[in-house]
Amino acid sequence: MGDSTMWRATILTIFPEMFPGPLGLSLAGKALAGKLWSLDAHDIRAHATDRHGTVDDTPAGGGPGMVMKADVLARALDAIPADGRPRLLMSARGRPLTQARVAGLAKGDGLVALCGRFEGVDERLIAARGLEEVSIGDYVLSGGEIAALALLDACVRLIPGVMGKEASGAEESFIAGLLEYPQYTRPAVFEGRPIPEVLTGGDHGKVKAWRQAEAERLTRERRPDLWKAYESRPKKPRT
């Protein structure tokens, strides 16, 4: 993969030192060093106009905390070339991130992610720059950086050459809309608990059927929302 097709991530943050963070380690780190993807963290404060590097102000209408300023954020975003990459805002009110959205982002040229802080971002900035708000869960973080790291980790592992062949089976399982089936390895017995006999019998057909049944059971028990969506999908005819 040449530089012209490298998957590129650009992060706008007031804490650029948080990156690459954990993404500089393990497979993602090796892929970063091997130029399978690139990461640029830009300091939003560099686009402030005063000597204090002010990026926030009190909320209009009153209330606690501070709000990130539209003008400063606009300058930071406008300094990034408009190259067609999706421009995202990590936001607790955004659309929940799914594996399907991750796969779509991973197939593209990369992304630009703005990490909010304080009480949030001036709404006018979101509208003026057409930002797509993305959430990694129904909870509030201190800022968007950890959310951006999670998003990047999910995307980078799908870039060709990062995970290799070992990624394919697990991805097929998740994309099917089910939670992953239980996994086991040696020792054969752990604290009186043996590996399920079906997994050690050598019958690949029975193993596949067991894994499918377990994935369905876990999804039904733990994620009724996913199970409902799975049940409503058109089923492929059995061959």
What CATH number does residue 187 fall under? 1.10.1270.20
The answer to the question of residue 191 being in a domain is: yes
pLDDT 10s per residue in the chain (239 long)?
444 589 999 999 999 999 999 999 999 999 999 999 999 999 999 999 999 999 999 999 999 999 999 999 999 999 999 999 999 999 999 999 999 999 999 999 999 999 999 999 999 999 999 999 999 999 999 999 999 999 999 999 999 999 976 555 555 667 789 999 999 999 999 999 999 999 999 999 999 999 999 999 999 999 999 999 999 988 776 55
Q: Is the peptide bond before 20 cis (omega within 30 degrees of 0)?
A: yes
The answer to the question of residue 61 being in a domain is: yes
The answer to the question of residue 101 being in a domain is: yes
Please identify, among 156, 187, 210, the residue that sits at the C-terminal boundary of a domain.
156
Burial zone of 75 (CB within 10 Å; 0-12 exposed, 13-18 middle, 19+ buried): middle
Both 142 and 181 in one domain: the answer is no
Give the domain extent around 186: 176-232
For 150, the token pair is 């999670």
H or E segment to which residue 174 belongs = helix 167-175
CA distance 4 to 109: 9
Both 147 and 209 in one domain: the answer is no
Q: What local confidence, expressed as pLDDT, does residue 174 receive?
A: 75
CA distance 87 to 79: 13
Asked if residue 80 lies in contact with residue 50, where contact means CB atoms within 8 angstroms, the answer is: no
The answer to the question of residue 166 being in a domain is: no
Both 113 and 72 in one domain: the answer is yes
Q: What local confidence, expressed as pLDDT, does residue 234 receive?
A: 85
DSSP class per residue in 18-29? GSSGGGGSHHHH
CA nearest to 13, candidates 124, 103, 121, 102:
121
The answer to the question of residue 164 being in a domain is: no
Q: What local confidence, expressed as pLDDT, does residue 176 receive?
A: 86
Instruction: Please state the domain count of the chain.
Output: 2
The answer to the question of residue 21 being in a domain is: yes
Both 119 and 200 in one domain: the answer is no
> Which CATH number does the domain housing residue 106 bear?
3.40.1280.10
Both 126 and 186 in one domain: the answer is no
